[in-house]
């Protein structure tokens, strides 16, 4: 047995709905850059031409709520059959209680539903999928919903040249159910020594929120942020991404006896296009095996994997999928699953 | 070292070749920015199979210093 590898029997992913806000932000028009050339260079490297931002007063839980309602309807599920609701987010409605708990009532789910949050970022969809699948395989629950997403536009400083043009908002709902003969595999990895690579320094209990937390700090590149905004060391995250991520994916595929050519689609966390292209080439993947959502939606944190899947549309049916989420932590989650012929796969805009 | 200087030159767009030599203070080149540092990390990974981080780039002053740091990894 290899530590960190999960082989889950009798669970399938039945569908996924992604929900994005209507408001589009175009990076080439951004006043954050010093010149049009600087903006073009950013777009060329990261791939992010445009992304979506939440309107005032809307939270990522609202996007997840609309996605979940549509998914339940499309799958023709009875709400009482849903026994687990997990919300993966780093931007909850409140610090206490968990957002999944609020959504149990809002979605009208049974009181016999297990609800909790998993506060992970880029690797969060894979971690959430591994937890919900592990609970379903025990047969104590029939069906589960995994909600993922962050309102990164509310979190990042608008004057942070690394984060502000990169991140977009999205919320997704993915359906899991007990199903004989369907299997999923996961590999989970952590390197906590990199915890400062992406960090909000203040507001937790190590550095409690204070007046000083709101002081505006300026970087050498002119970026401005406070200590309650996330600070990303883009260079270190990039270095980690192009070395550890291909290594973990190779080990994972070896462990589950799959070759790169056996996989129809690799769904990667949409970190940055330049980084993903490096990873793609290292793994010797064809462009057609690697769909991107980063071009039109930016880096959408934990929502990036299901959002990328949604762009494949009905072509995802009967396909073999590998996925890898990686980033803040540092944390990596790899997964493998097969999609059935009735899979629901949709992308909607938030109506409110 | 000469090969490293050529490899470094190739990740740049606007800098003249004569500006790139072992004593070049690469972080002070006009076109150096955070994107250049990503290109540099990618080049070192691709050509030398070594992982360098932000602090390596920050601590090394010249291309010779950086080359020596990569060799010691």
pLDDT digits (tens, 9 = 90+) for A148-166: 999 999 888 999 988 899 9
pLDDT at A1: 61
CA end-to-end span of chain B, whole Å? 16
pLDDT at B33: 83
Task: Report the percentage of chain A scoring pLDDT > 70.
Answer: 100
pLDDT at B31: 86
Structure tokens belonging to residue A110: 């049974």
Strands (E), A253-301: 265-268
By the CB < 8 Å criterion, does A42 face chain B?
Answer: yes
Asked if A157 and A164 touch (Cβ cutoff 8 Å), the reply is yes
Question: Whole-prediction pTM value?
Answer: 0.92
Chain A hits for B38, CB-CB cut-off 8 Å, are 45, 234-235, 238, 274-275
Q: Is the ipTM of this complex over 0.90?
A: no
| SS3 at position A74 | helix
Q: How far is A238 from chain B (nearest CA, A)?
A: 7
What are phi and psi for residue A262, nearest 5 degrees? -75, -15
Chain A hits for B51, CB-CB cut-off 8 Å, are 239, 243
Distance CA A339, CA A12 (A): 8
Among A40, A235, A243, A274, most B C-beta atoms within 10 A, so best to mutate, is A235
pLDDT digits (tens, 9 = 90+) for B34-52: 888 888 998 999 899 999 9
DSSP string, B40-72: HHHHHHHHH-----HHHHHH--SHHHHHHHHHT
Structure tokens belonging to residue A94: 């409140």
Asked if A117 and A147 touch (Cβ cutoff 8 Å), the reply is no
More confident residue, B65 or A162: B65
What are phi and psi for residue A233, nearest 5 degrees? -90, 85
Taking 70 as the pLDDT cut, the residues of chain A under it are: 1
By the CB < 8 Å criterion, does B34 face chain A?
Answer: yes
Biggest CA-to-CA distance, chain B: 30
Distance CA B42, CA B37 (A): 9
Q: Taking 90 as the threshold, does the pLDDT of residue B14 lie above it?
A: no
Strands A265-268 and A5-20: what pairing?
A: unpaired
Q: How far is A208 from chain B (nearest CA, A)?
A: 28
pLDDT at A325: 98
| A119: number of Cβ within 10 Å | 14
CB contact under 8 A, B45 and A243: yes
Reported residue count of chain B is: 73
pLDDT digits (tens, 9 = 90+) for A89-142: 999 999 999 999 999 999 999 999 999 999 999 999 999 999 999 999 988 899
Structure tokens belonging to residue A269: 């966390």
């Amino acid at each position: 047995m290899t530590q960190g590898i999960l082989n889950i029997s009798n669970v399938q992913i039945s569908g996924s709905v992604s929900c994005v806000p209507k408001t589009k932000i175009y990076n080439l028009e951004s006043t954050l850059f010093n010149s049009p050339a600087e903006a073009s260079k950013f777009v060329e490297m990261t791939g992010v031409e445009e992304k979506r931002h939440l309107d005032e007063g809307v939270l990522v839980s609202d996007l997840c709520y609309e996605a979940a309602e549509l998914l339940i309807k499309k799958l023709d599920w009875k709400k009482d059959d849903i026994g687990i609701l997990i919300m993966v987010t780093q931007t909850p409605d409140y610090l206490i209680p968990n957002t999944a708990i609020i959504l149990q009532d809002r979605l009208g789910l049974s009181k016999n539903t297990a609800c909790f949050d998993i506060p992970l970022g880029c690797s969060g969809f894979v971690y959430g999928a591994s937890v919900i699948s592990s609970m379903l395989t025990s047969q104590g629950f029939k069906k589960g919903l995994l909600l993922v997403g962050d309102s990164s536009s509310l979190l990042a400083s608008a004057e942070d040249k690394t984060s502000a043009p990169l991140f977009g908002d999205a919320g997704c709902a993915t359906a899991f159910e007990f199903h004989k003969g369907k299997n999923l595999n996961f590999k989970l990895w952590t390197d906590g020594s990199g915890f400062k690579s992406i960090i909000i320094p203040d507001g937790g209990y190590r550095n409690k929120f204070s007046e000083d937390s709101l002081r505006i700090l300026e970087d050498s590149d002119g970026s401005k942020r406070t200590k309650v905004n996330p600070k990303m060391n883009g260079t270190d995250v990039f270095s980690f991404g192009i070395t550890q991520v291909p290594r973990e994916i190779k080990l994972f595929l070896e462990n589950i006896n799959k070759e790169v050519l056996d996989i129809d689609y690799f769904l990667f966390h949409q970190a940055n296009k330049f980084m993903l292209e490096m990873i793609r080439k290292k793994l010797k993947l064809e462009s057609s095996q690697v769909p991107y959502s980063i071009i039109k939606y930016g880096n959408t944190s934990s929502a990036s994997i299901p959002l990328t899947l949604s762009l494949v549309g009905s072509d995802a049916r009967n396909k073999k999928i590998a996925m890898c989420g990686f980033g803040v932590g540092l944390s990596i989650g790899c997964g493998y699953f097969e999609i059935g012929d009735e899979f629901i796969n949709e992308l909607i805009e938030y109506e409110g | 070292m000469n090969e490293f200087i050529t490899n470094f030159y190739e990740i740049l767009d606007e800098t003249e070749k004569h500006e790139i030599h072992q004593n070049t203070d690469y972080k002070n080149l006009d076109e150096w920015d955070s994107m250049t540092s990503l290109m540099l990390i990618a080049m070192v990974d691709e050509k030398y199979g070594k992982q360098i981080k932000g602090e390596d780039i920050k601590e090394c002053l010249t291309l010779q210093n950086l080359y020596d740091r990569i060799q010691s990894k």
